[in-house]
């Protein structure tokens, strides 16, 4: 049945099936449905569906957002609107990417890329290449991610798209940051900041200031980091960017947390949580609850920490955020570890491993396997710990995960291995040689 032939009640019925018993989301959607009574197949109606889907995406209601986008896609395909089709395919991919289904997300992006190249949509092609890069970045494949970003940057430079150039420079910086190259990362961010200021992109400027602060934070320069965050917060408040304000408040809290000022950190997190709930940002709410839990954990209040983590876990599962679920399970495990309950801690870590394996999140695997190794070390299961860490070395060295490799380097002398990563390399080669011999 074509969408334009359906009645408003037909669509309401479909949405009810998607939302099941979530009445709050249902009421939110029904406000928009009256405008669908006389819907016809035209680009304007497809665009309207995209805009409505963005509201649900922002609220973490990915099922409804996906449903509306697929209706928009049907319209674009029926009327032969390939420009709109490329946009919608991109947006659908983001829904799957947020939930950690990187394979499906990549499939939609590749479809979008084919269309955009066929119709000569260079700006759209650059955007799609950027989005493809983000999927590889999320999985820890920094080499492939950088290749797509460089293709994207070339296009934006060719067509003079300064906004696209600024975004891409920002994204390139994040790859270098992930690999521990803060100097190069900062250089790209400063280029991006200059562009944002030149073209008057205040939202982009706020985001870039946030990202610059994270580099100084990572290097322990909390004064400089806080200065950049305060500049970002001012911009977000001036332009009414509530989502950006919530993110910045969260990041400010992390500065105080790192310095042991838990009271101030918690205050900023609570401000951020209020905003997330006000704007209906479920994904952001889950993140903030996670961070609040870490403040209580640091103070030894494991009961409150666990309560916040369980609230976060419920949200992650409700909205289908697999990557967030894996992270939360990891954090829950650390609460049990801190209390000496290693059996329960290992159980949560194994659940986390399963998720990261399913979605192909190599960075998440590294972090979880590191934690598994530490628990085995605690209970004197040295062989099991080393095995877990050798796997971390293999994964981290293949994707350039600087944080994981540094952790292994710090561990080496404690285990009687040569300094740095040479010992891990030898162990990895020995295991690989042993496996190859058995296969022969």
Tell me the three-class secondary structure of 300-338, residue by residue.
Answer: CCHHHHHHHHHHHHHHHHHHCCHHHHHHHHHHHHHHHHH
pLDDT tens digits along 51-94 = 888 888 877 778 888 889 998 999 999 999 999 999 999 999 99
d(CA 262, CA 238): 28
d(CA 88, CA 73): 6
What DSSP designation does 42 have?
S
* Residue 15 in this model has a pLDDT that exceeds 90: no
Query: What's the token pair of residue 272?
Result: 């951020």
pLDDT tens digits along 404-433 = 999 999 999 999 998 899 999 988 888 766
Is 1-120 CATH 3.50.50.60? no
Q: Comparing 1-120 with 281-356, is the CATH topology the same? A: yes
* Phi, then psi, of 32 in degrees rounded to 5: -95, -15
281-356 adopts what CATH topology?
1.25.40
d(CA 423, CA 249): 42
pLDDT, residue 155, reads: 98
d(CA 93, CA 53): 13
pLDDT, residue 41, reads: 63
- The closest alpha carbon to 331, from 361, 299, 307, 354, belongs to 307
214 near 230, Cβ under 8 Å? no
* Residue 143 in this model has a pLDDT that exceeds 70: yes
Residue 193 confidence class, pLDDT cut points 50, 70, 90: very high
d(CA 104, CA 358): 12
d(CA 161, CA 57): 27
pLDDT tens digits along 253-302 = 999 999 999 999 999 999 999 999 998 888 899 999 999 999 999 999 99
- Looking from the CA of 13 toward its CB, the CA atoms found within 13 Å total 5
- The closest alpha carbon to 162, from 195, 128, 124, 187, belongs to 195
149 near 133, Cβ under 8 Å? yes
Domain range summary for the chain, segments of one domain joined by +? 1-120, 281-356, 361-440
Mean pLDDT of 306-330: 93
- Looking from the CA of 208 toward its CB, the CA atoms found within 13 Å total 28
What DSSP designation does 72 have?
H
Burial class (CB in 10 A: 0-12, 13-18, 19+), 79: middle
d(CA 74, CA 29): 20
Within its chain, how far is the Cα of 112 from the centroid? 21
d(CA 267, CA 288): 12
* Residue 139 in this model has a pLDDT that exceeds 90: no
What DSSP designation does 415 have?
G
d(CA 436, CA 251): 47
Within its chain, how far is the Cα of 214 from the centroid? 15
């Amino acid at each position: 049945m074509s969408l334009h032939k359906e009645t408003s009640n037909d669509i309401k019925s479909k949405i009810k099936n998607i939302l099941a018993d979530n009445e709050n989301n249902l009421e939110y959607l029904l406000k928009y449905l009256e405008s669908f009574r006389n819907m016809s197949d035209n680009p304007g109606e497809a665009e309207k569906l995209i805009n409505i889907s963005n509201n649900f995406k922002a609220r973490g209601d990915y099922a409804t957002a996906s449903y509306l986008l697929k209706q928009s896609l049907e319209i674009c395909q029926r009327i032969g609107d390939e420009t709109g089709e490329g946009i919608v395919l991109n947006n659908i991919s983001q829904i799957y990417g947020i939930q950690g289904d990187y394979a499906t997300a990549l499939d939609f992006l590749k479809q979008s890329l084919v269309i955009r190249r066929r119709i000569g949509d260079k700006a759209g092609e650059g955007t799609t290449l950027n989005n493809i890069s983000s999927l590889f970045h999320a999985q820890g494949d920094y080499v492939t991610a950088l290749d797509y970003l460089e293709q994207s940057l070339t296009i934006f430079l060719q067509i003079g798209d300064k906004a696209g150039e600024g975004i891409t420079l920002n994204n390139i910086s994040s790859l270098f940051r992930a690999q521990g190259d803060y100097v190069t990362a900062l250089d790209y961010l400063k280029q991006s900041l200059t562009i944002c200021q030149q073209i008057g992109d205040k939202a982009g400027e706020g985001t870039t200031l946030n990202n610059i602060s994270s580099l100084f934070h990572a290097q322990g320069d909390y004064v400089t980091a806080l200065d950049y965050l305060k500049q970002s917060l001012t911009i977000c408040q001036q332009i009414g960017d509530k989502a950006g304000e919530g993110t910045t408040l969260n990041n400010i809290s992390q500065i105080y947390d790192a310095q042991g000022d838990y009271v101030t950190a918690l205050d900023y997190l609570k401000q951020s949580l209020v905003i997330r709930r006000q704007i209906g940002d479920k994904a952001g709410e889950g993140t903030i609850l996670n961070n609040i839990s870490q403040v209580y954990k640091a103070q030894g209040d494991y009961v409150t920490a666990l309560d916040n983590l369980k609230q976060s876990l419920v949200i992650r599962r409700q909205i289908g955020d697999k990557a967030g679920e894996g992270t939360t399970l990891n954090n829950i495990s650390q609460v049990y570890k801190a209390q000496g309950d290693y059996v329960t801690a290992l159980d949560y870590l194994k659940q986390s491993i399963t998720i990261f394996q399913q979605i192909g999140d190599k960075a998440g695997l590294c972090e979880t396997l590191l934690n598994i190794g530490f628990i085995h070390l605690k209970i004197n299961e040295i062989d099991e710990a080393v095995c877990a860490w050798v796997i971390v070395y293999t994964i981290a060295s293949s994707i350039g995960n600087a944080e994981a490799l540094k952790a292994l380097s710090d561990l080496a002398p404690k285990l009687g291995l040569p300094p740095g990563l040479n010992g891990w390399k030898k162990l990895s080669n020995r295991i690989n040689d042993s496996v190859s011999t058995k296969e022969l």
